[in-house]
Structure 1
């Protein structure tokens, strides 16, 4: 007969799960949970601003899988880890795919900023009349 589990177990948040498994990519935590049979629970909270949902994870299962990750017996795909050649290739591919978006975002910020700076320079230089002395000495 299995030992009775304590009634009040402090289940772990996703942030705590990520800290317990530092070699697992954050985007692959859920896949690792499913592949390794970690008990999890969907929690719901209702407030004035609506409903919030989040997952919590059983600490004994998280610790079991952390040991399995450390000794290499956990059920993992190579790209789920941060420290494999497959993960490095995936990172490079994602950087290449996201580069146009990053450039677009930079331009979206830089162009209006440049226009504002140019308008400020024009307004400062054009604020005095031609007969009055310049404030820029």
Structure 2
């Protein structure tokens, strides 16, 4: 007879899953869990600003797969890991793809700062100087 799960198992969030599997890319955690048979629950919370959804993972399954990842027997795609040549190539492609957006962001910030500095200089120069205002002190 199989051992029953304890009634009060604390299921792991994706953040804790990422700590348990540090060699797995954060975007590939759920795919890794599915490929290796990790039990998970889709959680939903309704709040003031709408619905929040997240997944939680069974800790015993996470530990089992952590051992399988460490000894190289886990079912993984090469690009799911952080330390493979495929992952490094994927990172290079993503950086190259995101470079125009990063340059655009930097330009928008530089223009905004230039406008703010210009407005402050204009306001500073238009303010009346202390020598031109009459003094009422005798």
Q: Same fold (TM over 0.5)?
A: yes
Residue of structure 2 equivalent to 1:135: none
Residue of structure 2 equivalent to 1:49: 49
Q: Residue 6 of structure 2: SS of its match in structure 1?
A: coil
**CA deviations over 1:24-72 (Å, ceiling 9, x no partner):** 0000001101110100001122223322211100000000000000000
> Equivalents in 2 of 1:97, 1:51: separation in Å?
32
Q: Which runs of 5+ in 1 are unaligned?
A: 133-137
Residue of structure 1 equivalent to 2:37: 37
Q: Structure 1 residues 50 and 128, CA, compared in 2 at 3 Å: closer, same or farther?
A: closer
RMSD (CA atoms): 1.7
> Equivalents in 1 of 2:115, 2:52: separation in Å?
41
TM-score (norm 2): 0.88
Paired residues, number: 132
TM-score (norm 1): 0.89
Residue of structure 1 equivalent to 2:136: none
Q: Note if 1:63 corresponds to 2:30.
A: no
**CA deviations over 1:59-112 (Å, ceiling 9, x no partner):** 000000000000000000111000111111111110000000011111111102
Q: Structure 1 residues 27 and 122, CA, compared in 2 at 3 Å: closer, same or farther?
A: same
> Equivalents in 2 of 1:29, 1:123: separation in Å?
53
Q: Which runs of 5+ in 2 are unaligned?
A: 133-138
Question: Displacement, 1:128?
Answer: 4.3
Question: Displacement, 1:125?
Answer: 2.7
Residue of structure 2 equivalent to 1:121: 121
